[in-house]
A = this chain, B = another copy of it.
Amino acid sequence: MLKSKRKNKSRRIGKIKTIHGEVNTPFFMPIATKGAVKNLTPEEVKNLGAEIILGNTYHLWLRPGDKLVAKVGGLHKFMNWNGPILTDSGGFQVFSLGAKAEEKYGLNGVKLSDEGVEFRDPIDGKKCSMTPEKSIDIQLNLGSDIIMVLDECPPYPCSKKEAKKSVERTTEWAIRCKKYFFKKVGNRKSRPLLFGIVQGSIYEDLRKESAKSLVSLDLDGYAIGGVAVGEPREKMKDVLKWVLPLLPQEKPRYLMGLGRPEEIMEAVNLGIDMFDCVIPTREGRHGRIFLWNGNQRSKIANCKADFYKTININNEKFKNDLSPIDKNCNCYLCRNYSRAYLRHLFATKEPLALRLASIHNLKFYLDLMKILGGR
């Protein structure tokens, strides 16, 4: 599925085949949590160069409901995106958003057992129950191209005892997910891919144990979860160094929730193929804009982190700046508008600001992936 070439031996270039077409690696998935990339149409997202997007099992299950989505013919049809879609399993959100319900309703936010997890919908307090099988059902109803197994994603910091328990549970759940998944899809030739998620916090033995157990299940790809949850950046690199040598070369590797551009560059150089992150769109909505910083191709080739910089377009100094946002970018914003215009839109709270900034930042991330992939 994947081949490695170029000077950097770890960096990999390849393709992943899915029901909805091939995706070139390494790639970045724009986030369509609730079935829409914030402020953008699927048409725009595609034109920016995205080949695959990410939907969120947890959110779509609660609203509008996976059964409704199935009735329309799947998430692709519902949201009008005809390329591949990866859906996360909902594990991360159950834990992170369950806590919000606790604050709001004064209830136990999350009740975890070997069977699965019970929690309160943070919006209406309704009791919900998620199990490995349920997560697979939802993702099949959504019509996902890449299905993630349900995992237990512990927070950072986390004791070794807790981390060990979460690794064991994640492996158990992966076994149940795989069994249930193949019971449902049978021996269909064209089926979604099923990915495992390596946990183990910052503990070397646990990370390795998690990776080995999952690899023995012979899944279609492997994600590294429980990163970018607050741990120091060096720890995250350690995790990659422990885990990646244990993963099969020919299968895709996905670093969940990462990251800043230099983190993505480093991770690609270590052998990661897939990324998703809210940074380009979320920071864009706050006026933080990514800019190429001269000779970016050669800097990236030499693994120099200064291949980009950011500006806050809300800054007074851009008020009369009639230059383009980034003369090295050919996105819709940079082709048509000045810094002064974008700043004006932010200063006057015009919603077009959010859209134009999202377009630019996503293009930056997607172009970065092209450079990293030699495309």
Considering the chains assembled together, what is the distance between the CA atoms of A346 and B15 in angstroms?
36
Q: Are B68 and A340 in contact (CB under 8 A)?
A: yes
Complex interface residues of chain A between 64 and 80 (CB less than 8 A to chain B):
64, 68, 71-72, 78-80
Q: Known contacts A64-B340, A332-B41, A338-B78; is A36 also within 8 Å of B71 by CB? A: no
Distance in angstroms from A48 CB to nearest chain B CB is: 14
Interface flag for A322 (CB, 8 Å):
yes
Alpha-carbon separation in the docked complex, A345 to B68 (Å) = 14
Write out the residue numbers on chain B whose beta carbons fall within 8 Å of the beta carbon of A350.
34-36, 38
B352 contacts A72, C-beta separation under 8 Å: no
Chain B residues within 8 Å of A223, by CB: none
Given contacts A345-B36, A351-B39, A351-B354, contact A338 B72 (CB under 8 A): yes
Chain B residues whose C-beta falls within 8 Å of the C-beta of A34 in the assembled complex = 344-345, 348, 350
Question: CA separation between A37 and B350, bound complex, in Å?
Answer: 9
Q: How far is the CA of A137 from the CA of B337 in the complex (A)?
A: 24
Q: Quick check: is A63 within 8 A (CB to CB) of the other chain?
A: yes
Determine if A187 is an interface residue (Cβ-Cβ < 8 Å): no
Given A336-B80, A341-B79, A348-B63, check contact A320 B68 (CB 8 Å).
Answer: yes
- Report the bound CA distance from A309 to B139 in whole Å: 38
Check if A352 sits within 8 Å of B40, measured CB to CB: yes
Contacts A63-B344, A344-B63; is A352 near B78 (CB within 8 Å)?
no
In the bound complex, CA of A40 to CA of B343 (Å): 17
Going nearest first, the 4 A-B pairs with the smallest beta carbon separation are A64-B344, A80-B336, A36-B352, A36-B350
Q: Is A347 an interface residue (CB 8 A)?
A: yes
Q: Which of chain B's residues have a CB closer than 8 A to the CB of A351?
A: 38-39, 351, 354
Chain B residues with CB under 8 A of A343: 64
Query: Quick check: A39 and B72 within 8 Å, CB to CB?
Result: no
Chain B residues within 8 Å of A286, by CB: none
Task: Give min CB distance, A79 to chain B, whole Å.
Answer: 7
Chain B residues positioned under 8 Å from A347 (CB to CB): 63-64
Residues of B contacting A345 in the complex (Cβ-Cβ under 8 angstroms)? 34-36
Binary CB contact string for chain A from 34 to 70 against chain B (1 if under 8 A, 0 otherwise): 1111111100000000000000000100011000100
Which A307-360 residues have a C-beta within 8 angstroms of B?
319-320, 322, 332, 336-338, 340-341, 343-345, 347-348, 350-352, 354-355
- B352 contacts A319, CB within 8 Å? no
CA distance A354 to B71 in the complex (A): 25
Evaluate contact between B64 and A352: CB separation under 8 angstroms. Answer: no
Residues in B with CB closer than 8 Å to A40 are 352
In angstroms, how far is the closest chain B Cβ from the Cβ of A56? 11
Q: Which of A40, A337, A344 has most B Cβ within 10 Å? A: A344
Most central of A36, A320, A345, A355 by chain B CB within 10 Å? A36
CA distance A57 to B128 in the complex (A): 53
Could you tell me if B71 and A322 are in contact, using CB atoms closer than 8 angstroms?
A: yes
11 A-B pairs within 8 Å (CB atoms) are namely: A34-B344, A34-B350, A35-B344, A35-B350, A38-B352, A39-B355, A41-B332, A63-B344, A78-B341, A80-B336, A351-B354
Inter-chain contacts of A39 with B (CB < 8 A): 351-352, 355
* Additional 8 contacts, C-beta under 8 A, given A68-B320, A68-B340: A35-B350, A38-B350, A38-B352, A41-B352, A64-B347, A68-B319, A72-B322, A80-B336
Known interface pairs A38-B352, A351-B354. Does A72 touch B340 (Cβ–Cβ under 8 Å)? Answer: yes
